[in-house]
Homo-oligomer: A and B are copies of this chain.
Amino acid sequence: MYTLTQIEGGVCAAEGFYANGVHIGLKKDNAKDVAFIYADTPCINATVFTTNKMTAAPIRHFRQKGSFEGNFVLINSKNANAMTGPDGICDIEEVLGALCLAFPQIQHPVMSSTGVIGVRLPKAKIIEGALTFDLSVRDAVAASEAIMTTDTFAKRIAFEVTLENGHSFRIGAMAKGAGMINPAMATMLCFITTDALVEKTVLQELLNECVHTTFNAASVDGDTSTNDTVLVMANGKSGAFEASAFKEALEAMMLFLAREMVRDGEGATKLVTYKVTTALNDDEAEIAAKALSNSLLVKTALFGEDPNWGRIASTVGASGVECDEATLSIWFDEVCVYRKGELLFDSTLEPLAAAVMQKSQFTIHCDLGMGEGSFTAYGCDLGHEYVKINADYRT
């Protein structure tokens, strides 16, 4: 037995972690644009990166270094340092080299970036700003704000986990992401810190398991970024660990952040849970659930609050999974709108279904009647704001 308590503090909740976010001139209007996470002792880490083959420079730099056993992450928004070739890596080395010179306590730093693709990093500006960092600050709020791009709110969470023997550890996180988000891979940026005493291989394994059902189950627009990164840093300071407790906390935190990211999807007004059950197997359930969360026709019907269950059925059929209209059933929350070949819509039922669609969060459940597979994905609607935001993103 163990207990999970949600606490304040984000990435600074765990012992020995410091963070801050400042404005160095990449964003307009004095908005914070560079953040750091610093640990006062060495950390072990686990990472998941994008599967996009046009991998951004920070990720290639990270991989070149092999295992990251350092204690410092520098994060900038507004510039992705992607499609910048070998120059992109040199820019990172120059920035981090300057940081190491200025702050002798920084060991093996890495960098993470998000923003526009195909523009060289403004490294002089970043170095100038980074040299003003105060590594003793613990401002998880400022750090989570500095990594935002089209996000409309900052995303962070922390838990204290108390084990049966009375020992406890903490785990905290922050994430950014509102667009270029697709369930077929790792995800946007997410940074997690913990003082749990976890082994590196166990940490990586637990991270991989949790990514599948959380960030990889979330979609805003079906587009996979060049920079997606999840990084967990663990310094072991609490001396406490219990795998199932740690996994529950990690998964709950990542699911919270994944859902927050979708809720903040560019222009989104609704967070929809797509539950697919009795698919032939779990893989097919996943394919169908993700097809639903990515269908433009489903997303625009959500925006229009139109209980157009025909588009749900058609999307499942088009996804290529085993299915049949004679065994399919569809619910909007508790309202069954189609049951195994039976057309249920009438003047009583349609208003009930329409009322569900008007909620800001609800579940669309498809039961395929084919086997025992299930998967749950998370998506949002697509409205005018998405078009507006993305039609002139660079300007």
Contacts and interface: CB of A to CB of B under 8 A. Distances in A.
A5 B246 CA distance: 72
Contacts of A202: none
A221 B310 contact: no
A372 interface: no
Interface string A279-293: 000000000000000
This chain's copy number in the assembly: 2
A16 interface: no
A256 interface: no
Contacts of A343: 83-84, 118-120
Contact of A83 (B85, B117, B313, B318): B313
A207 B294 CA distance: 31
A67 interface: no
Interface stretch (A102-110, A140-148, A210-218, A321-329): A321-329
Contacts of A83: 310, 313-314, 325, 338, 343
Contacts of A326: 85
Interface stretch (A19-27, A38-46, A296-304): A296-304
A51 B316 CA distance: 12
B54 A313 contact: yes
A324 B391 contact: no
A127 interface: no
Contact of A316 (B54, B296, B390): B54
A306 B392 contact: yes
Contacts of A314: 52, 54, 82-83, 117, 180, 223-226
A4 to B, nearest CB: 35
A316 B82 CA distance: 13
Interface string A209-242: 0000000000001111110000000000000000
Contacts of A247: none
A311 interface: yes
Interface string A311-349: 101111110111111101000000000100101010000
Interface in A376-391: 382-384, 386-388, 390-391
A318 B223 contact: yes
Contacts of A114: none
A318 B55 CA distance: 9
Contacts of A117: 308, 310-311, 313-314
A352 interface: no
Contacts of A194: none
A222 B296 contact: yes
A390 B182 contact: no
Contact of A297 (B179, B341, B382): B179
A62 interface: no
Interface in A48-70: 51-55
Contacts of A224: 314, 317-318
A344 to B, nearest CB: 10
A294 B393 CA distance: 18
Contacts of A28: none
Contacts of A309: 118
A130 to B, nearest CB: 24
Given A179-B297, A300-B386, A391-B303, A85 B325 contact: yes
Given A83-B313, A118-B345, A179-B297, 4 more contacts: A53-B316, A55-B317, A80-B310, A86-B341
- A-B pairs with the 6 shortest C-beta distances? A117-B310, A304-B391, A54-B317, A300-B390, A224-B318, A118-B310
